């Protein structure tokens, strides 16, 4: 279901789309409504909701970062629409770095990492606290660094376990249990990044590679070639809106500050977006559908932000509670 694409949208319509009773009290400034209408701040026009669907939510207003350099169990959180320093959220079930994360806007899941593991754990994003065991990936692997979702299904791709992997796994985020086989990437690789438009998932980069490939998340099958990044690199981070995917930072003969973007629903090569405030490898990124944030990487705890629909250089947001790289991030409410 989705809101109508023209004409009059009622508060009853908005409530029903959000899964509430049509006559329930509604706050048009709430995070759920702002997510649905794609309005991070300011006044909301009912026409902003034309065609909007709560079923496509794979992001939210709170950004959550987990793991990192030194094989940490730390989880931090921020409010993406504002600026400021991160706050402690809780702990992962296993200390690790090179982990991957995705979410369904309510639950965040973290999978894989080093030391090489198949562990998946989860948090309820709206509630601070420690992670809980979810299940296992089909193959234990580190240097995963690539996961995305369509708001229902989470997908983990690539990694390294003695050799580069082309494995793609999937889970149903709202339930717990072990991952199932999805298919394969076009090229076995590790330390890439991934994002989604709620339908299509894209995987970009990898060690010394500029490859981008894509999948349709609701189905299973092998990935298809999408195009190329502007710069081949590993250890980048990616986030997205329902239109545009953005890849930032990374490493290839030095740390990178480049930010690239693609239009996810099409195929083709990435274009230059701008630069991060600091060149770094191994950041993590999340989005509220309007603003993208890039946190930490290399030897920094800096958080930057961009407005995904525009191009330009990133702006300082604040700092994470920990310094380092190879963490993962997701978002929700």
> Domain locations in the chain?
11-55, 58-332
Average pLDDT, integer, range 70-79: 94
| CA angle 140–146–148, rounded 5-degree value | 115
- pLDDT at position 56: 53
- Residue 262, pLDDT > 90, answer yes
Which homologous superfamily does the CATH classification assign to the domain defined by 58-332? Kelch-type beta propeller (2.120.10.80)
Q: Among 125, 95, 127, 204, which Cα is nearest to 158's?
A: 204
Contact 121/129 with Cβ under 8 angstroms?
no
- pLDDT at position 20: 65
Average pLDDT, integer, range 24-48: 80
Instruction: Tell me what percent of the residues of the chain surpass a pLDDT of 70.
Output: 96
Contact 201/192 with Cβ under 8 angstroms?
no
Instruction: Tell me what percent of the residues of the chain surpass a pLDDT of 90.
Output: 71
Q: What is the dihedral of CA 23, 50, 62, 192, to 10 degrees?
A: 140
Confidence of residue 22 (pLDDT cuts 50, 70, 90): confident
Residues 6+ apart with CB under 8 A from 45: none
């Amino acid at each position: 279901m989705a809101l109508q694409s023209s004409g009059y949208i009622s508060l009853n319509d908005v409530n029903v789309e959000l899964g509430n009773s049509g006559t329930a009290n509604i706050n048009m400034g709430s995070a759920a409504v702002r997510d649905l209408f794609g309005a991070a701040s300011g006044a909301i026009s009912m026409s902003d909701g034309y065609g909007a669907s709560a079923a496509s939510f794979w992001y939210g207003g709170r950004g959550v970062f987990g793991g990192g350099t030194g094989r940490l169990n730390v989880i931090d959180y921020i409010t993406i629409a504002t600026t400021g320093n991160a706050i402690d959220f809780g702990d992962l079930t296993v200390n690790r770095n090179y982990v991957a994360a995705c979410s369904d806007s309510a639950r965040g899941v973290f999978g894989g990492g080093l030391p090489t593991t198949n562990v998946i754990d989860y948090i309820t994003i709206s509630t601070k606290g420690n992670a809980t065991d979810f299940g296992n990936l089909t193959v234990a692997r580190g240097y995963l660094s690539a996961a995305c979702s369509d708001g229902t299904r989470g997908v983990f791709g690539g990694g390294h376990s003695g050799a580069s992997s082309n494995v793609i796994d999937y889970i149903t985020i709202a339930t717990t249990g072990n991952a199932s086989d999805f298919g394969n990437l076009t090229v076995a690789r590790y330390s890439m990044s991934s994002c989604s438009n709620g339908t299509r998932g894209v995987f970009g980069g990898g060690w010394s590679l500029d490859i981008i490939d894509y999948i349709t998340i609701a189905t299973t099958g092998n990935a298809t070639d999408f195009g190329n990044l502007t710069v081949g690199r590993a250890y980048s981070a990616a986030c997205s809106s329902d239109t545009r995917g953005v890849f930032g930072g990374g490493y290839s003969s030095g740390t990178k500050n480049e930010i690239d973007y693609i239009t996810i629903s099409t195929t083709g090569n990435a274009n230059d977006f701008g630069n991060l405030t600091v060149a770094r490898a191994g950041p993590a990124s999340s989005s509220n559908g309007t603003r993208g944030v890039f946190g930490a990487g290399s030897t920094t705890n800096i958080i930057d932000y961009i407005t995904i629909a525009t191009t330009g250089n990133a702006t300082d947001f604040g700092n994470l509670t920990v310094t380092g790289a190879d963490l993962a991030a997701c978002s929700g409410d």
